[in-house]
């Protein structure tokens, strides 16, 4: 335990939902729920407006729709979230070399290691400055907790939500923790919490009064002793800049149970390829292949196979996952499949399985080459058929595009926007950008409209370069007033560049194509249509 509150915990407020509200002016101040929109989807994040209706993370999406039917339901845009997370982590890295990310929106920082703070006043100043910088760079808010340990810093950031800062002075830990429920402590999940409740322990004060011997008797030596120390306010875990990855996995839940064995095998192969992509992106290989199957009756089966050496070969992982699937009965139906790799290493090893897979692939390529030669001889003997020409130049069918609610699009005439919903051969789009001062116009198109294309997320804050860590008044000068809007004498919306737009540089709003009517037209109000 430290004598000063120099461990900082940052937790971005309703991160996914807040990022969606920041990028969509028509959703600001309204309930927004991000997650899987299928019948078996779950809530990833709910905005604070949606939480007033009882919606929470990890809640089934069907339940969320019953509680808050008029919310905007959006599919996650992880590309945007990762970009914002990188900006936030860069700001944390300027505070200290010891930054321990826990997720895209959460991290611990050791302020002493960065020489930023050695006392309460300096720690509070660093925390407030960090919140201002995050707001300036990303347009989002984060809550900050400061304490002498990681456990207390995280508790402080929870108390600071939303958009606040709480500092716990050393020496006040036990009084603060005493009335809190036991679930507030790390390592106390639903099962342990229920076990303690049956023993008559519901608050942290109950744990401290029970004593270490009683907790060891109930929970075992290691867990009981650790829990007693935390109940007394002691936590000596250091901030670790890099944590070892133990496993890499991917899984999918299906809207309808899968019964076809060929389809199940295909999905397992697809998951294996995605898992290997993540494995390679993390710079690892692995020895143990794990298959997870959740059947129609919610029973979950896990099978694993350990190879002779670590690999990151997709063919090896696919074959191993396929062998594991052969040992699982899927007759009743499958609702979830997952493929994972554990036993990670930072190197690969030659493997007979990989060699065999490569040999089979080479044989396949040779067979395809021979078939191609035979087809060439046939084509030289006569004219090329229309079917062969179509096969040589495959063309994407626009009618098969999927327009996901909340995702970014651009139209040749109307400019950038986002999908409000789609169905029955139509897609509804609201045309607005993060810098739009008012909700954008709504238009509906056919799903195969040639002018409509998917696009990349736009930045939440318009800046020509990343902001340095500066004082508040300097930050405000650097960011300026951004883009403004005014109503001209002819009733049209005019774009006005403020101090945030460099001289001579046209803003994205000014570049946006005008509508047919040169005005807002129907649907330009603030009403939302449910996706």
| Nearest of 514, 425, 500 to residue 464 by alpha carbon | 500
- Are 399 and 448 in contact by the 8 Å Cβ rule? The answer is yes
Q: C-alpha 282: how far from its chain's center?
A: 17
- Both tokens of residue 152? 């207390």
Tell me how far apart the alpha carbons of residues 51 and 48 are, in angstroms, rounded to a whole number.
5
- Are 492 and 383 in contact by the 8 Å Cβ rule? The answer is no
Instruction: Report the sign of the C-alpha dihedral through residues 389, 393, 397, 400, in that order.
Output: positive
Tell me how far apart the alpha carbons of residues 61 and 57 are, in angstroms, rounded to a whole number.
10
Beta bridge pairs of residue 167: 146
| Nearest of 70, 78, 77, 73 to residue 59 by alpha carbon | 73
Tell me how far apart the alpha carbons of residues 74 and 10 are, in angstroms, rounded to a whole number.
25
- Both tokens of residue 291? 């298959």
**What stretch of H or E contains 362?**
helix 352-381
Tell me how far apart the alpha carbons of residues 509 and 416 are, in angstroms, rounded to a whole number.
9
Collect all residues with Cβ–Cβ distance below 8 Å to 307 and sequence separation of at least 6: 287, 288, 289, 316, 320, 351, 353
Q: What angle do CA 509, 511, 516 make, to 5 degrees?
A: 90
* Of 20, 106, 173, 462, catalytic: 106
- Both tokens of residue 277? 């992509």
**What stretch of H or E contains 322?**
helix 314-326
Told to judge if 413 belongs to the known catalytic residues of this protein, a careful annotator would answer no
Collect all residues with Cβ–Cβ distance below 8 Å to 470 and sequence separation of at least 6: 478
Q: How far is CA 22 from CA 36, 47, 361, 481, in A?
A: 20, 12, 48, 16
Radius of gyration of the chain (CA): 28
| Nearest of 12, 62, 21, 139 to residue 418 by alpha carbon | 21
Active-site amino acid positions? 106
């Amino acid at each position: 335990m430290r004598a000063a509150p120099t461990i900082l915990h940052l937790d971005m407020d309703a991160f996914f939902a807040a990022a969606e509200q920041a990028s969509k002016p028509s959703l600001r101040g309204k309930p927004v729920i991000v997650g899987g929109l299928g019948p078996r989807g779950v809530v990833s994040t709910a905005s604070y407006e949606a939480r007033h209706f009882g919606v929470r993370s990890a809640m089934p999406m069907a339940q969320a729709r019953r509680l808050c039917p008029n919310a905007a339901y959006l599919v996650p845009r992880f590309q945007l979230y990762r970009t914002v997370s990188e900006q936030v982590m860069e700001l944390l890295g300027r505070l200290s070399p010891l930054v321990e990310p826990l997720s895209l929106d959460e991290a611990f920082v050791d302020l002493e290691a960065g020489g930023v703070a050695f006392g309460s006043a300096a720690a509070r100043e660093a925390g407030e400055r960090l919140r201002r910088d995050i707001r300036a760079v990303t347009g989002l808010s984060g809550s900050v907790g400061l304490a002498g340990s990681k456990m207390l810093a995280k508790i402080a950031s929870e108390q600071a939500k939303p958009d606040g800062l709480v500092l716990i002075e050393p020496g006040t830990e036990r009084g603060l923790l005493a009335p809190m429920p036991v679930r507030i402590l790390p390592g106390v999940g639903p099962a342990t919490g229920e076990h303690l409740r049956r023993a008559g322990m519901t608050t942290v004060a109950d744990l401290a009064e029970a004593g270490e011997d009683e907790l060891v008797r109930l929970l075992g030596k290691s867990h009981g002793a650790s829990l007693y120390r935390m109940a007394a306010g002691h936590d000596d875990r250091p901030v670790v800049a890099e944590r070892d990855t133990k496993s890499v996995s991917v899984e999918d839940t299906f809207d309808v149970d899968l019964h076809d064995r060929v389809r199940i095998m295909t999905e397992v192969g697809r998951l294996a390829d995605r898992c290997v992509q993540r494995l390679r992106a993390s710079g690892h290989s692995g020895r143990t292949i794990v298959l997870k199957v959740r059947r129609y009756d919610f029973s979950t089966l896990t099978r694993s196979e350990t190879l002779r050496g670590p690999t990151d070969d997709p063919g090896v992982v696919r074959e191993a996952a396929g062998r594991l699937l052969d040992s699982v009965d899927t007759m009743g139906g499958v609702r979830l499949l997952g493929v994972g790799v554990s036993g990670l290493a930072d190197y690969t090893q030659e493997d007979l399985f990989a060699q065999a897979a490569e040999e089979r692939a080479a044989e396949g390529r040779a067979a395809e080459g021979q078939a191609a030669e035979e087809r060439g001889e046939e084509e030289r003997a006569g004219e090329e058929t229309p079917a062969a020409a179509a096969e040589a130049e495959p063309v994407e069918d626009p009618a098969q595009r999927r327009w996901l609610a909340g995702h970014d699009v651009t139209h040749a005439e109307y400019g950038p926007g986002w999908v409000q919903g789609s169905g029955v051969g139509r897609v509804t789009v609201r045309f607005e950008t993060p810098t739009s001062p008012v909700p954008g116009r709504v238009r509906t198109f056919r799903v195969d409209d040639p002018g409509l294309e998917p696009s990349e997320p736009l930045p939440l804050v318009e800046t020509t370069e990343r902001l340095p860590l500066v004082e508040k008044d300097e930050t405000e000068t650097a960011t300026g007033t951004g883009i403004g809007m005014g109503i001209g004498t002819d009733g049209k919306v005019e774009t006005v560049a403020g101090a945030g737009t460099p001289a001579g540089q046209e803003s994205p709003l000014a570049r946006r194509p005008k509508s047919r009517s040169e005005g807002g037209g129907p649907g330009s109000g603030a009403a939302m249509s449910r996706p």
